[in-house]
A and B are shown apart, each in its own frame.
Chain A
Amino acid sequence: GAVVSQHPSRVICKSGTSVKIECRSLDFQATTMFWYRQFPKQSLMLMATSNEGSKATYEQGVEKDKFLINHASLTLSTLTVTSAHPEDSSFYICSADRDRGLGGTDTQYFGPGTRLTVL
C-alpha cells in the first residue's frame, strides 16, 4: 500500500526558532501534497496545498510568510514554521495524492503527523 512518512515525529523548540517538517511519499509520486494542522480535541484544518514545482496555495487565514512550503520533487514537500511561537504548538499532518491522473478521485494518503511544541 501507499506510504507517506513525516520527519520528525516530535519536535520541541524555543520560541523564535524555525522548524522544518518533511513529508515524503515513499512508493509513489505525488504531484499534490497537503498540510493540515490539528489542535487538541479538534478536527484537521487544511493549511495549504502544495504542488510540485509551483507555489503553494494557502487557505484563508494561514500566513504564507510564517508557514513556508516547498514541494521540490514528486516525493518530498517541506513545511517550515518560521519564528515559532507557543501558539504554533500543534499536530501537523501531511498527505499526498497518489497521482494516477484521476483528478478528484485520487486517494489521499496521510503521514503519521508531527507534534510541535514551542516553549
Chain B
Amino acid sequence: KQEVTQIPAALSVPEGENLVLNCSFTDSAIYNLQWFRQDPGKGLTSLLLIQSSQREQTSGRLNASLDKSSGRSTLYIAASQPGDSATYLCAPKGLWKLVFGTGTRLLVSP
C-alpha cells in the first residue's frame, strides 16, 4: 500500500525566499507524480506533472524533481510571494490511482 509523507507539514517564510518542499513515497512502482496546490476551502490546482521516465519539470518559478528509485520528489519554489500561500500536495500515481500526501501548509508573509 502506497504511503506518502510530506515534510515539512507547515512552513512560514518571508517574501522572496527560495523554498524546498519534500515528498517521499513507499512504493516506487509509479507512472507519474503530480504536485497540486489547494487554497483554503477550494479544489485542487495542478502545478506540475512528472512522468516516471523524467527527472524534473519546470513551470515558471516552480521546479519539481523526481527520484523514483529512492521514492522522493521535491518542489522548489523560487522567489516566493504572498500569493504562493496555500497547501501543497504531492500525489504519486500507480496504475490508476493517485495517492495524496499529507500536504505542506505554506505561508509567505509580505
Contacts and interface: CB of A to CB of B under 8 A. Distances in A.
Interface string B34-73: 1010000111101001011000000000000000000000
Contacts of B102: 43
Interface stretch (A11-19, A75-83, A109-117): A109-117
A113 B98 contact: no
Range, interface on chain B: 20 to 34
B42 A113 contact: yes
A26 interface: no
Q: Is the interface of A mostly helix, strand, loop or mixed?
A: strand
Contacts of A111: 43
Q: Is the interface of B mostly helix, strand, loop or mixed?
A: loop
A103 B26 CA distance: 22
B84 to A, nearest CB: 19
Interface residues of A, number: 24
Contacts of B31: 103-105
Interface of B: 31-32, 34, 36, 41-44, 46, 49, 51-52, 89, 93-103
Given A32-B96, A95-B98, 13 more contacts: A43-B100, A46-B99, A49-B96, A103-B95, A104-B32, A104-B94, A104-B95, A104-B96, A105-B32, A107-B46, A108-B34, A108-B98, A112-B42
